[in-house]
Amino acid sequence: MMNNLHAVLRAVAVIVLCALAAGRWGLHLGSAASVVERAAVQNNVDYLVRTLAVIKQQHAEPVDVESTIYEGSIPSMLQRLDPHSMFFGPEAYRRLREEQRGSYAGVGMTIRAWGDETVIEYQFPGTPAFKAGIRPGDIVVRIDGQPAETLTVDEVAQHVRGPEGTTVQLTVQRPVVDEFIEVTLVLESIPRPSVPLAFTFNDQVGYLRVATFNENTPDEFDEQLEKLESEGITGLILDLRDNQGGLLSAGIHVADRFLDRGQTIVSHWGRASDKRVYPSRSRRREHNYPMTVLVNCNSASASEIFAGALQDHDRALIVGSNTFGKGLIQAV
């Protein structure tokens, strides 16, 4: 077991050292300062090895060292840095990529924890959950025969996602129905459009809802904007309320559509990285109509970059409450 412990800790040390090396990108990694820093990290890893050895020996129950490291030590370490840094295990990283791609295979519903219960919050039209009659407010009782009360919300979500074509059996309780409702759902590809609403009202003003910024947002946005402009809009309302951001590149693309060439969209720099400026590269062309951008306290990250750029260049009127205030950009 001690060999396994050392193997896990060596892997952690490699991760930490690689992070330090990345943080010193462009500096002299072979310098004396770098050697001292690596030695300090190794010394701390040795402390961690000895601590885990004592826990393994003295704890009342057997200790899963890998789980302790990857689900305990590393996430806890990152939580002490800032509210946004986090550790992605394989499952969490898979879900992140699904969000960035804008589609996944599942049953097409959102869930949330309510006390000790898992409650269905919303089912997307046309999805397996919708066609099976699942409704908001239904309580998940069992999944594939396993009591849902023994599972976390994340574990329930894992059960209703997976390879396309596989099945999942759900037992739900509806508050106004005495008997449980049992359904078998076949997992399908569930598209999650990042621009779910686009229409014209008063025959002149266009409305665009951008729910997130993912890999599909640039194409979806251009398609919907072109459709509205073909209808002759003379003004545009862009709704970023509850849009918590996403990919920086997608936010820059959307902002680029409304600014003059050379105007700065955003710039960023860090303790170990040089300043980088992202200027608008396209010409505003016909996108010269008045604009209003709707935001609220859940508008964050790429949403704030977009709204801030248009506000700084007097291109749009920003309406709503103060935004979230996330003043940093992250890399995976």
Which among 98, 281, 134, 257 is positioned nearest to 143, based on CA atoms? Answer: 134
The rounded distance, in Å, linking the Cα atoms of 44 and 17 is 12
| Options 194, 256, 303, 326, the catalytic residue | 326
3-state secondary structure 190-248: EECCCCCEEEEECCCEEEEECCCECCCHHHHHHHHHHHHHHCCCCEEEEECCCCCCECH
Tokens matching residue 31: 């310098």
Pairing of strands 264-270, 291-295: unpaired
Question: Is 326 considered catalytic here?
Answer: yes
Instruction: Provide CB contacts within 8 A for 312, sequence distance 6+.
Output: 264
Question: Is 203 considered catalytic here?
Answer: no
Question: Is 116 considered catalytic here?
Answer: no
| Options 73, 280, 299, 301, the catalytic residue | 301
| Options 31, 260, 312, 321, the catalytic residue | 312
Sign of CA dihedral 91, 94, 99, 103: negative
Buried b (16+ CB within 10 A) or exposed e, 92-129: eeebeebbbebebbbbbbebeeeeeebbbeebbeebbb
Phi, psi of 273 (to 5 degrees): -140, 145
The rounded distance, in Å, linking the Cα atoms of 208 and 211 is 10
Active site residues: 301, 312, 326
